[in-house]
Structure 1
């Protein structure tokens, strides 16, 4: 099964807003299990977040393209880059609460977990608190989740669901 991809340009400049838009569009498009939906940072004269969709068939791709165009998005074949941040991917719905790294890998399309400041991968029995917000990123054709050590010897995804804005206490 060869996946088919397209991306939609947006005016959204914040990841959190892009996540909400992507989840809304994914629901409207009724994407099947096995589809991927990612955010991509676009730099340059007009910084923004683009959205990509990878689908398992050409007919699904054509339908998504038609619906996104009807909704007013500029749609381009492929993906804007190779390092998209996955928001929707196989198994994402099962990555809630606390699980082991082994369970996380077995339940989802994530290929591996890396831990900031560590070499190699964490052991499969290492626990991870997901905070119900797991955003892996494509790296070299693999879906990789960056994690960091947390209290009690557990891990947490590097990206948190509600980050504190820079300089919030000033």
Structure 2
């Protein structure tokens, strides 16, 4: 299901719940929507964990650079099979509301994301993308990392909306470098437990 959007806003947001259960499934849904909806440059697409009485899983939100792009996507979504009975309007509405308020949402698609491959200086990460700031989880000093600090992106960078800013959590890595807190293919924590 999809929720309506307010075209009067500067950046209209649409929430979509296609019944995905995991973040990985939601990431794939965003990649699929990027192609099927021909999402324009400047689109921000986020995943959201949903915990309601009716739904446990994930939904996505799509923020468009203009009303015309949002209207086109809205039309395509409501006419497609993406809005199946598996989806939940409440989940889609929650995803859209949280994204619009910039209080939560894990960004998979955002301006500049295409530059985040391989190892890059921290300054490039901040200057060439929509990421507003970074936090270093587990840092031993209170000092911010130097702009020249290498960041091993692992081609998987997922900043999150926090209090109105797009924030990327990083962790210290080998050789005075940094890496995103979220890894691309995490090992399930209970994989070896029966």
Please list, as runs of the form range in 1=range in 2, the aligned pairs for 1:50-65 lying within 5 A after superposition: 50-65=59-74
Output the CA distance in 2 between the equivalents of 1:80 and 1:148. 29
C-alpha distance after superposition, 1:6-58 (max 9, x if no partner): 10112111111110111111111111111101001111232111110001111
TM-score, scaled relative to structure 1: 0.93
Tell which deviates more after alignment, 43-52 or 119-128. 119-128
**Which residue does 1:19 correspond to in 2?**
27
Q: Secondary structure at the match of 2:61?
A: strand
Please list, as runs of the form range in 1=range in 2, the aligned pairs for 1:82-161 lying within 5 A after superposition: 82-118=103-139, 119=142, 121-161=144-184
Output the CA distance in 2 between the equivalents of 1:69 and 1:51. 15
Output the CA distance in 2 between the equivalents of 1:76 and 1:140. 19
Output the CA distance in 2 between the equivalents of 1:49 and 1:58. 25
Report if aligned partners of 1:114, 1:146 keep a CA contact under 8 Å in 2. yes
**Which residue does 1:163 correspond to in 2?**
186
Report if aligned partners of 1:114, 1:122 keep a CA contact under 8 Å in 2. no
C-alpha distance after superposition, 1:37-95 (max 9, x if no partner): 10011112321111100011111111111111122325659814231100000010110
Report if aligned partners of 1:112, 1:121 keep a CA contact under 8 Å in 2. no
Aligned CA distance change for structure 1 residues 120 and 136 (closer, same or farther; 3 Å): farther
**Which residue does 1:4 correspond to in 2?**
12
Unaligned segments of structure 2, at least 5 residues: 1-8, 84-88
Counterpart check, 1:79 vs 2:96: yes
Output the CA distance in 2 between the equivalents of 1:80 and 1:10. 17
Q: From the CA coordinates, give the structure whose radius of gyration is larger.
A: 2
Unaligned segments of structure 1, at least 5 residues: none
Output the CA distance in 2 between the equivalents of 1:4 and 1:125. 36
Output the CA distance in 1 between the equivalents of 2:16 and 2:143. 35
Output the CA distance in 1 between the equivalents of 2:123 and 2:107. 19
Report if aligned partners of 2:26, 2:58 keep a CA contact under 8 Å in 1. yes
Tell which deviates more after alignment, 89-98 or 113-122. 113-122
In terms of fraction of residues, the more strand-rich structure is: 1
Q: Secondary structure at the match of 1:123?
A: coil
- CA RMSD of the aligned region, Å? 1.8
